[in-house]
Amino acid sequence: MADDESLPVVTFGSLMTEGTTLSRRGLHDKALGCFNDALKLRAGDKHCLITRSKCFLKLGDTENSLKDAEASLQIDKTFPEGLYQKAEALYTMGDFEFALVFYHRGRRLRPDMHKFQLGINKAEEAIVNCIGNPSSLKLESKEELCFVSRQAELQSKKDNQKQQNKPKDQKDQKQTKKQSPKTEQQLLGELYADKAYLEKLLKDEDLMQSSTRQGIKVMDLVLDGISYLNHRRDFWQQQKPIYARVYERKVLRQGWMQDKKQKPSDISRSIAKNMEDIDLLLARGSAEESCRKAERMLKKIQTWSENEVPNKNELIGNLHSCIGSAQLAMGQMEAALRSHKMDLDCARQNSLTDAVSRALDNIGHVYARIGKFQQAINTWEEKIPLVQSSLEKAWLFHEIGRCYLELDKAEVAQDYGQKSLQSADEEGDVEWQLHATVLVAQAQVKMKDYQSAIMNFERALEKAKLVPSETAQNAIIAALDNVSKSFIAELNKSHKDGILSHKDRLFSSEDIKNTTENVKEEGNENEKPSEEARNGT
């Protein structure tokens, strides 16, 4: 039992996956073993038979390849992959005429599968190379073609009807006589030459009496092909006028459905899905993959017309922005700056106000990251008139104030901090109220206005408790301690010099000590419950 439990579990799916992988690597012998084992677990699986048939064909074993293809068709006569694989096996064996029949059958069932048309083309070309072009066969009169067509139709009905009434024969003759070769050629188009060739083959009695290696009569195969073409002719005549068929044949020659344009709705859905994937990859930390996907999509969209993508220019700018954000996340600062500037140029050229605001935002962010604070300030100040929401103003004023603080311009930093606080108050956003209040306090410390700084740090501490943010609380408490020490030192120095102002006398060093100690105690009390809670959990 121990040995059995140590063995890996082998399933049909795992064998199929392994066999397909080996086949793709060119290890067809090993792949064949996997497919054989898979068929032992699930005998008669048509998909496995086809994959094994392909493997046999790669190994040059056309007989077994054909057997597997035919076995899949015995399970499902309308299995398109089985028809295609049988045609491929016959083609490889040199039975081009029989391969052509099964290519036609497959295309009749699945006209959307382009490989059947390719098979028809290569089989016809092989036949022409062997015996010459069917169009070179001259049919002496209209009666000849009509007679052959009539004989083919009668032969094809023998399997279903042993006897036919004479009046019905006369009716069929009248119908075939009505179809002139010129009309039939217009109806069938390129297939007319195929039909003429098959009908010419019917005159070769020796060939018609012969059989294939599988015991199928050649006459039955030829009649099957002619019958199919007659059905196609009648269908096209009933369904569509000749000019419509000419257009469809033109589309067929250009590659079936490949040249058909996507519907605008399909394009929009595809673009939306790709943009969502790009944003999601960046949010998950896969910046490199996000960048690659955005670059591929940008190249693709640049080849589309504005009729296909009405907002093409806006989309191109958006992709430049996505690429720039990904490059910034990867630390490629210069590349990120170039991408965001391309976004800005695109937005200005097309008068896209929101896109201009976005690009200025991102450019300022890059400048700030690389320490070019004045360039960041200039860029963000250009963005101010474009900002509409109070929350965005709170963020923007805070960032500009932060840059001024880095440049030791404390007074301007304080002004922008107060603007940020005002916008945050309008929005009612506690978190940005916290950030703005801290900025104002830090600017006041730079200006040595310690009393105002302490008051603002205390306000910020209250905001941090509302957020709540334990990290922010600890940072503010530490800042308060440092400011208080600086303020006490300043007060002592002023007291010694005898220049203590009336305002400073009201706010003595003892008051500062008491305030700091109270703040520390409050901070410790705030920390204790969280520690107890952690211990409890």
> How confident is the chain (537 residues) per 10-residue block, as mean pLDDT?
49 85 85 90 90 90 92 90 92 86 87 84 77 48 42 47 43 44 70 83 83 82 84 58 47 47 65 82 84 89 78 87 91 92 91 90 92 93 88 91 93 93 87 91 90 89 83 86 82 64 49 54 48 36
On the 0-12 / 13-18 / 19+ scale of CB atoms within 10 A, 170 is exposed
Cis bond before residue 181 (omega within 30° of 0): no
Quote the pLDDT of residue 512. 52
Q: Is 433 helix (H, G, I), strand (E, B) or coil?
A: helix
Other CB atoms closer than 10 Å to residue 47's CB: what's the count? Answer: 14
The C-alpha atoms of residue 262 and residue 11 are separated, in whole angstroms, by: 40
Selection from 115, 82, 128, 83 nearest residue 101 by Cα: 83
Please say whether the beta carbons of 131 and 96 come within 8 A: no
Question: Do 188 and 232 form a contact (C-beta atoms < 8 A)?
Answer: yes
Beta bridge partners of 211: 217
Helix (H) / strand (E) containing 436: helix 430-446
- Cα-based angle 389, 394, 396 (whole degrees, multiple of 5): 95
Q: Among 83, 328, 342, 100, which residue's Cα sits nearest to residue 228?
A: 100
Chain centroid to Cα 480, Å, comes to: 52
